[in-house]
Structures are given as C-alpha cells and as structure tokens.
Amino acid sequence: MKAEYINPFLESAKIVIEQVIQIRPATGQLGLKDIKFVENHIWIQIGLNGQMNGDIVFGLSEQVALKMVSAMMGGFVISEIDEIVRSAISELGNMISGNASTMLFNQGVRVDITPPKVIQSANSAGFTAKQALTIPLIMEGIGELDIQVLIAS
C-alpha cells in the first residue's frame, strides 16, 4: 500500500469533520506503527476492495467519541456510549470513506468500501495487530481521531 493512499482519507476527514462538527482539525505527524487495540477506545473499520485492498481504521477514545457526537447533535450533551453514539460514529466513518473513495476514483484508483464496522473491544476486532500508516487529526477542545491505513502483508 502506498503512502499517498492515506491522503484522500486525511483530506476527506478534515472536510467532513469541519462540516459536521464545526472544527477545523490540525494534522499530526504521519508515521508507521504497530496497531494495538486498547480498551476505552472505539474503532471504525472500513474494508477497501479493488485496486486498493486492506482496511482503513479510524480510532478514537470513548471520551473523544462522546464529544464528537455531542457536537454533531448541536451540542446536546451525551454521557455514555450507546446505540445512537455508535451509529453516529459509524456514519462519520462512512461519510469520510465515501468521500475518500470518490477522491481516489478521480485519481484513477477504483476502490469499493464495505459498510463501517464499529469495534469497541480489542477482542472483537477480528484481526491481529499489523503495521499501519497512521496520521492523527487533532481537534481543539475535543481530542484526536487517528486515521490508520492497514498495510496488506
């Protein structure tokens, strides 16, 4: 998987977050790291099939998820991870990935995305730790959303 494939997801995430959360995220440092699933985090996993095969995973702490969904709902305070929060976070991942797949198509890369899968437990992830290209988006007053492109090995 090429490093430039993360750019459409990064750009899409910035656009979508700015539209639905009203915050322009700052971009952290691009890196290569081992994926480690930790508790009290949520991941949105979206499969990529076509000229690009693998997974895109958006990772965030439960506290960041609650703040993001609260912002998506016009500031309504949400205090627990429930079905509405999982649905909203899933839709956020879907919007980012759909937009990114359009960007990739416009670059001549045909890719289909799978529906988002929300993962709340390291045990339910369904795949073992791999290396991923990763870049954090920093949202002032909210926290970080980590974009991870899993490299097919």
What is the per-residue pLDDT for 32? Answer: 82
- Reported as a pLDDT band with limits 50, 70 and 90, residue 133 is confident
- Mean pLDDT for the stretch of residues 57-66: 92
CA-CA distance, 20 to 109, in Å (whole number)? 27
What is the per-residue pLDDT for 2? Answer: 62
| Cα angle 91, 129, 32; round to 5 | 85
Whether this prediction's pTM lies above 0.85 is answered by: yes
